[in-house]
Amino acid sequence: MADKVMRVQMAEEFKICPTCGYEDGFHSMFVRREDCLQWHFICPSCHGIFDIGLTVSPPDRSNDH
Ligand SMILES: [Zn+2]
C-alpha cells in the first residue's frame, strides 16, 4: 500500500477512484494535525490515499469543561 496522499479537487461528488476507476466509494482514515483531523480516503481497490481538503474537529479527550 502506498502511503502517498494525493490531493483531489472535489467536484459534485467524490465516489469514483481517480486512479483505478473503482466506483463504490472509499474507506476513511484520519491524520491528527495541530488543530484538526485531516480526513483522508482510501480506495478499497487500489489502496490509493486521497485528500479532498476535508478536516474535522478532533474528539475532545479532556473533560474539564
Ligand atoms: Zn482506486
The predicted-structure confidence for 8-49, as pLDDT tens digits, reads as follows: 998 899 999 999 999 999 999 999 999 999 999 999 999 999
Q: Residue 47 Cα, ligand 1 centroid: separation in angstroms? A: 6
Task: Answer whether 39's CB lies under 8 Å from 57's CB.
Answer: no
Task: Answer whether 36's CB lies under 8 Å from 56's CB.
Answer: yes
Q: 64 CB contacts (<8 Å, ≥6 apart)?
A: none
Q: Residue 57 Cα, ligand 1 centroid: separation in angstroms? A: 27
Domain ranges of the chain: 5-56
Q: Per the confidence metrics, is the pTM higher than 0.85?
A: no
Q: Residue 55 Cα, ligand 1 centroid: separation in angstroms? A: 21
Residue 65's Cβ-side half-sphere holds a number of Cα atoms within 13 Å equal to 3
Q: Residue 61 Cα, ligand 1 centroid: separation in angstroms? A: 34
